[in-house]
Structure 1
Amino acid sequence: MQVKDEYFKIMEDKKSCTGPLMIALQYNDLFDLDSVSTSINTDALPKGRAFTFIKAVQTVNERLLEKNKTESLLFEVILVAKECSEEIKLKIVESVKHYGLEIGKFFFCKKEELINTLQSNKVKLFLSTDKNDVNEALHSGIPAALLYDQADDHVLNQLKVIFSGDVIGFSEDSFDSLSDFGFSETQIETFKAAKICMKEFAILIGEMRRKFGQENSPLCTCVLTSWGSRNVCASALKTLREWGLDADVAFCLAGAPCNPILAVVKPHILWDGGFHNMRDLSTQS
């Protein structure tokens, strides 16, 4: 009976999670402004850390439309720019056109307006390389994750998403006990906020992933348990399945450094709430 109730609950969640899947980026992640002078005379801004992400997202959309021309569950990317000059605004729009990037909307706002901009556009995921922006969004109830730094144009035909097995696998009681292992109250609250925000995105990604076969999929989902035990990893996989997502790959590191795994997988999205920085803490049993 419990399984049946859970099934109907997931179905209800899916009804309220209709496409498109809105993702927000910041312009300084999409373009590398550090390598250009104040007076911008180039034809287009240099590619930034989010460039391979955009290309991978477009590949997923193209493959979905190949399967169904009327597909509505697609990625839509909006670009947010904080505190930039009129010259930069114009160059951002020109550069997006130059590279053929599919950006749904542009928002130029003040720094303090970022959260309101994300909320008003019902963003399903805010990506940033700035951990402070990610934490602020999470604590405001906005799904947010780290945009993993992609230094080169490696494989562009597959979007890779890593979910934290630590965040998903811990129960409410387990989160509260993390203070005994050296986690601060702020970190624990961030982990709780991250888990709450992950569900809707995981449901939508799961629905997308099921539209493709096991091989040659443009979308790859992984679970990375960097600190917790095998039981925590198993709990995370079970929770994701309840949300409608079967992960393609799972890594249970039990306290081992995760950088070697990240260097091989090269994810575009690292949704971990900061757990990957906790390598020096003892392994949860």
Structure 2
Amino acid sequence: MPQLADKLVIAISSRALFDLQDSHRVFEERGLQAFSDYQTAHENDVLEKGDAFPLVEKFLQINDRLEGDSRVEVILLSRNSADTGLRVFNSIEHYGLNITRAAFCNGESPYRYIAPFGCHLFLSSDGQDVRHALEQGVAAATLIAGGARERQDDTLRFAFDGDAVIFSDEAEQIFKRDGLAAFAAAERASAQKPLGGGPFKGFLEALQRLQSEFGPDSCPIRTALVTARSAPAHERVIRTLRAWNVRLDESVFLGGLPKGEFLRAFGADVFFDDQPNHCASAAEHVATGHVPHGVANLEES
């Protein structure tokens, strides 16, 4: 009986994988029936690649590197019906993506299938679906359009912000409430105390387990922490990762500098951050996922 328990599983919405702006505009302006008619009439027209397409393509190539040992899987979760979703599957076949499992929910949110599929990460263009996934304890992000860049190499590069993404937002709460000086003092005083885990801790750990199956010179995945923190607030981060036995390939402490150029230099296929203004800036350079979690997003809730 097929099992997904030993795989790293990413769930993705059809609007994140493909450019569905035209059909979505039909839905918003003319309703569900017009949308269905449009998709059916165009079901043999191949969809353009969406912001997450390069990420998904590289991710699926990892199985090829493992010589047939299927260790990663992509699940399609869609608000389309199976009938209107035929265009999506036709496009998947056209591009040669090995995506075989899907849930089509005919207008309903598909987030409820995240747990049964055992997904470690959910990427969507729908912020409400992403929030529901985070409430289920699954790493999730809303993809922001405009930052996708296809790199020529096959290495998959994930970049993460720290507070409220990999780590809890406990330190960020102090910063928001009391300012930078209080934040720095609190972090210096708590340098030996590991931070709590954030919504992406589990996904990062799963990534590292997959990385461990490759030699150091042949691993097709690289990870980076790209954070606004600087000394002395760096020490608690380093000690927290050490306590978790989690290794990141690169760590960049920016001390408040804009992240975009550094993310482009790293070559991130996707960057995850909790702060909307940081995401908007980063999206000018790389594909970016907003993680609507923590104190920075309370006003939007």
Bin of the TM-score, shorter chain as denominator length = 0.7 to 0.9
Change (3 A) 1:41 1:164: closer
Structure 2: state its 5+ residue gaps.
27-37, 180-195, 282-301
Change (3 A) 1:234 1:167: farther
Please report how far the alpha carbon of residue 264 of structure 1 lies from its aligned counterpart in structure 2 after TM superposition: 2.8
2:108 aligned with 1:122: no
Please report how far the alpha carbon of residue 130 of structure 1 lies from its aligned counterpart in structure 2 after TM superposition: 4.4
Please report how far the alpha carbon of residue 155 of structure 1 lies from its aligned counterpart in structure 2 after TM superposition: 2.8
The answer (yes or no) to whether the contact 1:162–1:224 under 8 Å persists in 2 is: yes
Task: Please state whether the residue corresponding to 2:214 is helix, strand or coil.
Answer: coil
Output one character per residue of 1:153-182: Cα deviation in whole Å (capped at 9) or x when no partner. 323511111122233686675244233158
The answer (yes or no) to whether the contact 1:144–1:271 under 8 Å persists in 2 is: no
| More divergent stretch after superposition (211-220 vs 96-105) | 211-220
The answer (yes or no) to whether the contact 1:145–1:270 under 8 Å persists in 2 is: no
Correspondence for 1:177 among 166, 174, 183: 174
- Aligned residue pair count: 246
Amino acid at match of 1:154: R
Mapping of residues 261-276 of structure 1, within 5 Å: 261-274=262-275
Partners of 1:277 and 1:220 lie apart in 2 by: 21
Partners of 1:231 and 1:26 lie apart in 2 by: 40
| More divergent stretch after superposition (53-62 vs 234-243) | 234-243
Amino acid at match of 1:92: V
Output one character per residue of 1:209-249: Cα deviation in whole Å (capped at 9) or x when no partner. 223333343101000112x3334434333333433431111
Equivalent in the alignment of 2:211: 209
Task: Please state whether the residue corresponding to 1:165 is helix, strand or coil.
Answer: coil
RMSD: 3.2
2:74 aligned with 1:95: no
Output one character per residue of 1:46-82: Cα deviation in whole Å (capped at 9) or x when no partner. 211111011110222221x23xx5x46x111100111
Output one character per residue of 1:84-129: Cα deviation in whole Å (capped at 9) or x when no partner. 3555311111111111101141111155442212122221111134
Output the TM-score relative to the length of structure 2.
0.69
The answer (yes or no) to whether the contact 1:205–1:245 under 8 Å persists in 2 is: no
Task: Please state whether the residue corresponding to 1:197 is helix, strand or coil.
Answer: coil
Amino acid at match of 2:216: Q
Task: Please state whether the residue corresponding to 2:217 is helix, strand or coil.
Answer: coil
Partners of 2:85 and 2:263 lie apart in 1 by: 34
Please report how far the alpha carbon of residue 273 of structure 1 lies from its aligned counterpart in structure 2 after TM superposition: 2.4
Equivalent in the alignment of 1:13: none
Equivalent in the alignment of 1:62: 64
The answer (yes or no) to whether the contact 1:21–1:124 under 8 Å persists in 2 is: yes
Mapping of residues 23-102 of structure 1, within 5 Å: 23-34=10-21, 38=38, 39-40=41-42, 42-63=44-65, 65-66=66-67, 71=69, 74-82=71-79, 84=80, 88-102=84-98
Q: Which contiguous aligned blocks of 4+ residues in structure 1 show a shift greater than 4 angstroms? A: 129-132, 146-150, 168-173
Amino acid at match of 1:102: N
Task: Please state whether the residue corresponding to 1:230 is helix, strand or coil.
Answer: coil
| More divergent stretch after superposition (211-220 vs 140-149) | 140-149
Instruction: Indicate the percent of aligned positions where both proteins have the same amino acid.
Output: 29
Amino acid at match of 1:271: F
Change (3 A) 1:229 1:181: farther
Partners of 1:178 and 1:111 lie apart in 2 by: 40
Partners of 1:131 and 1:218 lie apart in 2 by: 30
Mapping of residues 248-263 of structure 1, within 5 Å: 248-263=249-264
2:103 aligned with 1:107: yes
Partners of 1:85 and 1:169 lie apart in 2 by: 34
2:216 aligned with 1:229: no
Task: Please state whether the residue corresponding to 2:222 is helix, strand or coil.
Answer: strand
Amino acid at match of 1:260: E
Change (3 A) 1:170 1:95: closer
Equivalent in the alignment of 1:19: 6
Would you tell me which structure has more helix in proportion to its own residues? 1
Output the TM-score relative to the length of structure 1.
0.73
Task: Please state whether the residue corresponding to 2:114 is helix, strand or coil.
Answer: helix
The answer (yes or no) to whether the contact 1:237–1:246 under 8 Å persists in 2 is: no
Structure 1: state its 5+ residue gaps.
1-16, 183-193, 280-285
Task: Please state whether the residue corresponding to 2:50 is helix, strand or coil.
Answer: coil
The answer (yes or no) to whether the contact 2:78–2:105 under 8 Å persists in 1 is: yes
